[in-house]
Amino acid sequence: MFSKRPICIVENDDNDFEHVKNELKKSSLSNEILRFKKTEEMLDFLKNEEIKPALILTALRFPGMNGIEFMKIAKKENLLDDIKVIVLTSADENLRLESKNEGFIGFIKKPFVLNVLYNLLRTFTSNKFLERNKVDDILKDISTTFNNKILKSLIAIKTNKVYTQLSFFDGYSNSIVLEYKGISFRLKNKIYDTLKNQKIFSDTFSINDVKNKFWWMISNLPKNAYIYIRKIEFENKDTGLILFITKEKMDSELNKKIDEKLYELSASMYTQKNDFEQKVYMGKAILNLAKTTTAYDPYIYLHSVRMADLSAILALLYGFDNERISFVKNCGMIHDLGNIFVSKRVLNKPGILTDSEFKEVQSHTSKLEELLSDNEFLNDYVEVAKLHHERLDGSGYYGLKMNDIPIESQILAIADIYDALTHDRPYRKAESIEKTLKILNSMAKDGKINKEIVKILENLVPIFEKTSYNLNLTSLLRNNKKIFIENPFKENSLIDGKIEKLTGGFAYIKLEEVPQLKIGNSITLYSNLDGIIEKFECKILNIKEDGFIVLVKTTEYESKIIKTMWAKKINLFKLESGIKRMDQIEISEYTLNARMSMFGANQLSFTTTENLFNLKDKLMIDFDAYGENIVIFGEIKRIESEENLVRYWVKYLNMTEDKIATINRTLFKRKLEILLYL
């Protein structure tokens, strides 16, 4: 149990140790707090003491062994088991990125801002956070027990009739696939009805049954296999399921192994199901709160949605964990609620504001506080959101400086400026992206806003906004990504490995077995990208004891890998045959509403209850997402019947650069949304 295990702090600075210790005590934890001044002392404790810590908080920089070296040794010697390790650091971005790749679950940046430190520690020490990775461990433990007989497996929680994936195991790579957390799906009626009345469904499994509905599950599977699904309950409440696809029928073996882990698994799933539902409900409540501004001024709501999404992405790239990213996004959604108390005449005045008018505009942050002062659930959000006009030099609304401004508020400030400048207002036209970035860099240089966050935004914009910077498959590789290469000396043999470090087009790949090759030789590298195995041609530049440093040749962008499951209502309109200029069509009404099930960069799929369209029919598809109206023209390329539903696959047509950019942004945000909920 977490409550009986100590929390260890590895910190040689007395002041920093006292800060962390005091904030831990505020969180009402009863755990014993142990201090170590050297990482070597922490290693000795892990090796020699019977009781293991629940949590380790460690600095990175030490005179002897640094925090990253400590982590490598502790993992290599299997000393950590279920122990979570957090970084306390003032280190530069490269060192922080390296620490993330070594398996630290998060980092807290020095110098500490006490209210932020408290919120972080409260998150990291919550039962919900400590439970989060438990299902991964359980799924992998069960799936690796049976000598490669498990091809695929997953654990999912149930909300109404929809299942949301907590963990997915791929038997071919022998690993948990993190990219598939958060995917939602529905079971076939036959399976769903069986699980309502009994705990287990078992049958033969054919790829043809699921090839479109469960695209992430079927890569590398044989045509025929076996499927085993067991309903998981906690205190007689239907919590979710665990699913296995196997080479042979093995119901009794799986039952026995699941029974060994059942209480631990069901309790963890129940905790995460409650956490997931709370996040969804809180997100919807805050969204509905923000929507109330549309009656007063639609711009407030649309700006808030765009600004919140951008803030969340900046928080992700800055290194925040999911809890903090979600927190930042919700702060962004409410940051301008106080503007409903500012007169429309002032908000939309085309000219320069008078002093009294400017004070009225400034009041929107204090009005936000007044508006939500009685809502204890939103107090933490308000405290951060109201500071989105603060500047590091003290020139903001409240006059706060530097570390007195929470880093979350600093992120909101930059996202707020970026979105405001790149959209039309009554008093000025939208600035170009180039000029907006120039303004932000100037403000950072003058000490008004955070330089590091501006740099992250500058690097983000090419893939988030500009379509002249085409995405390619190489850009989707990343540090710690599992890969494999062909063994040039053994036919049909593969060597497993991972990307140790990726810089630009250069990669240091670690391999379980290093073939005897020479500098200048070419090798083919494979990696699983969103369920599709992609290959990369590489040239060896250097040879290491445990792998190669290679140049990864640029691979042309293939939009088929950019896709996501998305159960979303859309509007459809069938276009007349023979139309050539679809961008000039005027639409008066829609034929019907349908439900989208998959959204991709170059195609989408939707379902209807009747067969309404034919192959090669041209459609206009319209839906709203994340503050933008998405309008897509496409042609039906495939039609399939599925249990009282008809599924249509639509290939996009007439794609301008602006439309491609909009779709890329929407996909990016959808994947972030899935990440935040889990």
Q: Has residue 333 been placed in a domain?
A: yes
Q: Which residues, in sequence order, are CB contacts of 377 under 8 Å at separation 6+?
A: 282
What is the mean pLDDT, run by run of 10 residues, along the chain of 678 residues? 72 87 67 89 89 84 86 84 75 50 63 51 53 78 89 91 88 77 80 88 75 64 86 91 92 93 89 83 82 84 87 80 83 91 87 88 89 81 93 93 91 94 84 89 94 84 46 55 80 80 76 88 75 70 86 54 73 73 50 80 84 87 82 87 78 78 77 63
225 and 169 in a common domain: yes
333 and 249 in a common domain: no
Confidence at residue 174, expressed as pLDDT on a 0 to 100 scale: 79
Q: Nearest 5 degrees, angle CA 388-CA 391-CA 392? A: 130
This prediction has a pTM of 0.56
Tokens describing residue 75:
């993992």
Residue with tokens 């099930």: 597
418 and 302 in a common domain: yes
The residue from 220, 241, 276 where one domain ends is 276
Instruction: Extract long-range pairs of 94-100: CB within 8 Å, 24+ residues apart.
Output: 95/60, 95/68, 96/319, 97/319, 97/479, 98/68, 99/60, 99/67, 99/68, 99/71, 100/319
Q: Has residue 291 been placed in a domain?
A: no
527 and 420 in a common domain: no
Residues 562 and 667 sit within 8 Å (Cβ to Cβ)? yes
Q: Tell me, what CATH number does 536's domain have? A: 2.30.110.70
Q: Has residue 430 been placed in a domain?
A: yes
In the 8-state DSSP scheme, what is residue 401?
B
Q: Tell me, what CATH number does 445's domain have? A: 1.10.3210.10
Q: Which residues, in sequence order, are CB contacts of 88 under 8 Å at separation 6+?
A: 9, 11, 16, 20, 57, 58, 59, 60, 107, 108, 110
Tokens describing residue 261:
């882990």
- Residue 310's nearest CA partner among 457, 468, 106, 470 is 457
Which H/E stretch holds residue 287?
helix 251-291
3-state secondary structure at position 50: coil
486 and 445 in a common domain: no
Q: Has residue 221 been placed in a domain?
A: yes
In our burial notation (b when 16+ CB lie closer than 10 A, e otherwise), range 631-669 reads ebbbbbeeeeeeeeebbbbbebeebeeebbbbbbbbbbb
Q: For the chain, count helices (H), then strands (E).
A: 20, 24
Confidence at residue 72, expressed as pLDDT on a 0 to 100 scale: 85
What are residue 588's phi and psi, to 5 degrees?
A: -100, -35
445 and 305 in a common domain: yes
CA dihedral 397, 399, 404, 407 (to 10 degrees): 30
269 and 316 in a common domain: no
551 and 565 in a common domain: no
Confidence at residue 533, expressed as pLDDT on a 0 to 100 scale: 56
Confidence at residue 660, expressed as pLDDT on a 0 to 100 scale: 76
Confidence at residue 441, expressed as pLDDT on a 0 to 100 scale: 93
Q: Tell me, what CATH number does 205's domain have? A: 3.30.450.40
Confidence at residue 539, expressed as pLDDT on a 0 to 100 scale: 85
Q: Has residue 536 been placed in a domain?
A: yes
Residues 271 and 129 sit within 8 Å (Cβ to Cβ)? no
Confidence at residue 639, expressed as pLDDT on a 0 to 100 scale: 86
Residue with tokens 């933008």: 628
Confidence at residue 474, expressed as pLDDT on a 0 to 100 scale: 54
244 and 193 in a common domain: yes
Q: Tell me, what CATH number does 79's domain have? A: 3.40.50.2300
Q: Nearest 5 degrees, angle CA 645-CA 168-CA 123? A: 115
Q: Which residues, in sequence order, are CB contacts of 249 under 8 Å at separation 6+?
A: 202, 226
User: Could you tell me whether strands 84-89 and 55-59 are parallel, antiparallel, or unpaired per DSSP bridges?
Assistant: parallel
What are residue 353's phi and psi, to 5 degrees?
A: -80, 145
Confidence at residue 93, expressed as pLDDT on a 0 to 100 scale: 45
Residue-number span of the structural domain to which 205 is assigned: 134-276
Structural domain count of the chain: 5
Confidence at residue 328, expressed as pLDDT on a 0 to 100 scale: 92
